[in-house]
Chain A
């Protein structure tokens, strides 16, 4: 029997969802036999191109859409069970909230929905507005909020009751670099507190920065899943060297671009790099920068999604 610390925050087994077209004509398989499981205290990122099935997956997890087949469990319970939902926080993609409410009224409303008492709501609403940088806007009607402010407020409602599992759909969408950094910090603080985070994103840099594990979804199917360090090789693939002056001819060194007296070259390995640096120095050239290129999540992503469509034809 699983204890509370070993129950997967998110458990999906063979989950499939098909949408019918207008008048029941045609059908689209949005999610196809998706199986994955997250671990307590980890940040899991579900990445994929637009239309990959990320939002549909999240909606099935929350019970907003019913899966045609398969099993969905949140914190060990089916999403239809409100007791599962009382321990989660959710932020949808491009959220829209009640524009006739003020930020305080809005959070108070969600506090009621989460079952919080009046005293708890008073305290937590103020705390969360402070946390997302909206403390000065508590009495402002949401119709006057910018997209970024709405996103922050959405995050405040998601974390209002300190949930065990935070589910975020494209949480960085609509945020400026400062806002993205703040959201990343909040997500990381959740992990630090032993909470689990499950988020979808197509901004790979964000996923790479904060995720413990990622799943790559394409055409409703999971193409890869695992820890970032197991999916991505951290070894240096090549070096990019910017040289001022003449670049010595050398086997394996490939010129990428040049501008004035500066040339950018690709160097295949450390040995060649050492010889290039020595040779450039001897010939009076100047090495401006050396940048080691490692595989990124984006490289893996492009590799996975660049497969011919026939690979996962449905």
Chain B
């Protein structure tokens, strides 16, 4: 019975990640979003003809935005039902009856979806690079890398929501985190304009709890050829990955406490 065992944790997480990957790549919504993104990147060349002298910037701007937005939509649409579907369809019963810890399940699901998102981003970047043929695409890569970090962070939130609510509420919550995360600077601004009191405390809490996604957005700098220091990049990556880990730990804790009736 114990023949051929390898480290159990790794094998369980690998198995769950592979299953999540298979589920995602056999889901039509993935292809629908991907086609939309690729079409948008493709027509960016035509749209760039509307301006004089900034064609490359238009293509880069539209292309990077498409990669980011469609990446986030994929993370949200697939991520919010990852856990919910397993519970709703009761596949979780047989899965957790195996020698699998609950956090293995959450981490496996997360990693499986990240692989899908990474493949998507690589594909979209390749199409963008093909359109920008002859022009430097290497300069775009830091922005693409931070888009991936942002997707890792958004996916963690989607999974956290999926652990305790239905896909619709989870999607609303995740998109709200994404939108507010890009405007987190406004909490600081608001705090300075209102008298101190409980609203000021709320602004402070939201500022520190919600992600600061503007730290991961260097699309404008890349499009306009502004150099981004390696230290800024490094800190942004560290911030994004650390934040994702914390959200994932919270998701594991929430999932650990659940009863599956």
A79-87, A127-135, A241-249 - interface stretch: A79-87
The A140-162 residues at the B interface (CB cut-off 8 A) are 154, 157-158, 161-162
The A69-90 residues at the B interface (CB cut-off 8 A) are 82-83, 85-88, 90
- The closest CB in chain A to the CB of B90 belongs to A96
Please tell me if B12 contacts chain A, counting CB pairs below 8 Å: yes
Please tell me if A192 contacts chain B, counting CB pairs below 8 Å: no
Smallest CB separation, B65 vs chain A (Å) = 31
List of A residues within 8 angstroms of B27 by Cβ? 100
- Once A59-B260, A110-B98 are accepted as A-B contacts, the answer to whether A97 and B22 lie under 8 Å apart by CB is no
- The closest CB in chain B to the CB of A154 belongs to B94
| Most central of B90, B95, B97 by chain A CB within 10 Å | B97
- Measured between alpha carbons, how far is A88 from B94 in the docked complex, in Å? 11
Smallest CB separation, A275 vs chain B (Å) = 59
Please tell me if A113 contacts chain B, counting CB pairs below 8 Å: yes
Contact A112 B12 (CB under 8 A): yes
The B82-104 residues at the A interface (CB cut-off 8 A) are 89-101
List of A residues within 8 angstroms of B95 by Cβ? 113
| Most central of A19, A65, A82, A113 by chain B CB within 10 Å | A113
A116-124, A208-216, A287-295, A304-312 - interface stretch: A116-124
Smallest CB separation, B30 vs chain A (Å) = 12
Please tell me if A49 contacts chain B, counting CB pairs below 8 Å: no
Contact A83 B99 (CB under 8 A): yes
- Once A82-B8, A92-B94 are accepted as A-B contacts, the answer to whether A87 and B1 lie under 8 Å apart by CB is yes
List of B residues within 8 angstroms of A86 by Cβ? 8, 98-99
- Once A92-B90, A92-B93 are accepted as A-B contacts, the answer to whether A82 and B22 lie under 8 Å apart by CB is no
- Measured between alpha carbons, how far is A118 from B8 in the docked complex, in Å? 13
Please tell me if A66 contacts chain B, counting CB pairs below 8 Å: yes
List of B residues within 8 angstroms of A105 by Cβ? 22
List of B residues within 8 angstroms of A82 by Cβ? 8, 99-101
List of A residues within 8 angstroms of B260 by Cβ? 59, 64-65
CB-CB contacts of B51-92 with A at 8 A, as 1s and 0s?
Answer: 000000000000000000000000000000000000001111
Smallest CB separation, B56 vs chain A (Å) = 41
Contact A97 B4 (CB under 8 A): no
CB-CB contacts of B1-36 with A at 8 A, as 1s and 0s?
Answer: 101111010011011101100110011000000000
Please tell me if B259 contacts chain A, counting CB pairs below 8 Å: yes
Contact B93 A98 (CB under 8 A): no
Please tell me if B261 contacts chain A, counting CB pairs below 8 Å: yes
Contact B23 A98 (CB under 8 A): yes
List of B residues within 8 angstroms of A83 by Cβ? 99
List of B residues within 8 angstroms of A114 by Cβ? 98-99
Please tell me if A51 contacts chain B, counting CB pairs below 8 Å: no
Smallest CB separation, B255 vs chain A (Å) = 12
Contact A112 B4 (CB under 8 A): no
- Once A66-B259, A101-B22 are accepted as A-B contacts, the answer to whether A109 and B94 lie under 8 Å apart by CB is no
The A27-75 residues at the B interface (CB cut-off 8 A) are 56, 59, 62-66
List of A residues within 8 angstroms of B11 by Cβ? 112-113, 115
B3 contact from A63, A90, A91, A117, Cβ within 8 A:
A117
- Measured between alpha carbons, how far is A87 from B97 in the docked complex, in Å? 10
- Measured between alpha carbons, how far is A97 from B16 in the docked complex, in Å? 14
B97 contact from A64, A98, A162, Cβ within 8 A:
A64
Please tell me if A95 contacts chain B, counting CB pairs below 8 Å: yes
- The closest CB in chain B to the CB of A60 belongs to B259
List of B residues within 8 angstroms of A118 by Cβ? 4
- List 13 A–B pairs whose Cβ atoms lie within 8 Å, in order of A's numbering: A56-B261, A85-B99, A86-B8, A92-B90, A92-B94, A95-B94, A105-B22, A113-B16, A114-B99, A116-B4, A163-B1, A164-B1, A167-B97
Q: Which 10 A-B pairs have the closest CB atoms?
A: A117-B4, A112-B15, A86-B99, A90-B97, A82-B99, A113-B98, A120-B4, A100-B26, A64-B260, A92-B93
